[in-house]
Each structure stands twice: as structure tokens, then as C-alpha cells.
Amino acid sequence: MAEGKDLDILEMPFEGLAAYWLSIRKIMDTRKGKTIVRDELEGTTEIFIRHLLETVFSKMDEGLVRKLAEVKKDTLLDDYRRKIDLMRLSLFAIASGENPRVTLVRMDSKFSHAPLSEKKAFEMASGLVQAVKQQDADLATLLAVDHKIRFDQLVVKLLFFTIYARREGRTGLDRFLRYTKSRYFTEGLSLAIDNFEPDFLAYHLEGIRDQTINETSRKMDMSLEMALGIRAKMPYDDVFRIAKAYMPG
């Protein structure tokens, strides 16, 4: 197996993603080559990689494969950008001591229809505040924040952090840092706890957001070209050359 279950195209480095596709190319030349795509589909949860495994290695025309990959890329990048923006809004709220109701209104503005009502959002977020106080609370699950969870879950978790900071103070969030999964959110939360100015924090996080989305777009392009190279039975070294074209340096 090429260990696709561990993939996260948004957060993993170019080198790690390239190594994944190169491992598939290498396995293609072995007795396991006939089943590697099927095996990866069974073990991979990364959405864009699954999409490529399902389409590139099908009997679809290459032009259609490219068109579908572009549509999937645009859809996912829009999803990721919106989730990162929700994190950014909550981190600004924590740093500025903003009223959580105002924060929820700001988050709801990112949707044509809010993922859940204000009443439901506050009920669930307040329930989370109580849940984390329990001695046997599974904080790694309750407080995990990343781009993979549903929008309604993300809004509730982010609202929890703003409510908790408002009630207990920003420094009270320090004990939760080890449980937040997203590197983006964890870095921002650490800066908010350290009393960085809200406006500076928002500007800093905007820059990271844009860089993250741009790099993820390039990683998706690299994955498509490497997968198509594998489909075309290119030599290993040529597939590696495709990867190097997308890497800095």
C-alpha cells in the first residue's frame, strides 16, 4: 500500500505528495500493480486523490478526466477557502473579545443559507462548553478543527472557542491547543492567546490563507499530471520529473 489513508493535500508538503504518487508508479511494476488503484481507493479518504484514482485510471477520455479534475479542484478550493475564512473570523473574535453573536453573524455571511440557526448553533456550542468540563471528555474529538469536517460542525466548534474565550479569557484556551488539528487554526489560536493585535492577526491569517490555497492548487495540478503520467505508463524517472516541475528550487 502507498499509505493513502494518511494523505491531506491541503497540509502535506509537495515532497510527501509526490512520494505518494511515485510509490504507486513503483508498485505498478510489481505483482501488486494490478490491484494498487483498487487498494488505494479502499484506504484513501483524501477527496481529491480519491477523485483522481476513480477517474484517471478509468476508461474515460483524457480530456474528460482533465475537465472533471478542474471542476473538482475549483469546488474543493472554494470549500477550503470558506472554512479557513470561518477559522479566521473566529480567531479575530477571540483576539478582539468580540461578542459571539456578532461572530456568528459574520460566519453566516459566508453562506447563502446559514448551515444552522442561531438558536441551534448556540445550544450546541454551549453544550460543547459543558462537555469539555467533564473529566472523561474526549477533547481530541470534541475540539478537532480542520477543513475536513462539515460546515455546521465547524461553525459550532469555532463558536465554542469564541464563547469560551469570552467567558474564561483567551489564556484559558491554552490547554486546548494540543487538540486542535488544523495547523492554520492552531497557529492563529496561539497568536491570539499571546495577545497579538486583532488587526495584525487578521492580516497575517489572510496571507497564510492565500498562500495555502495557492499551494494546494499547485499540488492538485501536480497530482493530476503525475497520475496521468502513471496512466500513460511513463518511466518512473519521467514521473519524477513531472513532480520536480511543481516544486520550488
Question: Would you kindly state where each structural domain of the chain is located, as residue ranges?
Answer: 4-75+212-245, 82-211
> From CA 55, how far away is CA 60, in angstroms rounded?
7
Provide the pLDDT for residue 33: 79
Q: Cell numbers of 158, please?
A: 469555532
Helix (H, G, I), strand (E, B) or coil at 60: coil
Interacting residues of 240 by C-beta distance below 8 A, sequence separation 6+ = 18, 22
> From CA 115, how far away is CA 121, in angstroms rounded?
9
Q: Smallest Cα–Cα separation from 1: which of 33, 40, 42, 47?
A: 40
pLDDT tops 60 at residue 4? no
- pLDDT (tens digit, 9 = 90+) per residue, 16-75? 999 999 999 999 888 887 899 999 999 999 999 999 999 999 999 999 999 999 999 999
Question: Structure pTM?
Answer: 0.91
Q: Cell numbers of 20, please?
A: 505518494
pLDDT tops 50 at residue 155? yes
- pLDDT (tens digit, 9 = 90+) per residue, 162-211? 999 999 899 999 999 999 989 999 999 999 999 999 999 999 999 999 99
Q: Which amino acid is at 215?
A: E
Residue for cell digits 473538482? 72
Q: Smallest Cα–Cα separation from 201: which of 110, 98, 94?
A: 94
Provide the pLDDT for residue 212: 95
DSSP 3-state helix, strand, coil percentages of the chain (rounded to 5)?
75, 0, 25
Provide the mean pLDDT of the chain: 93
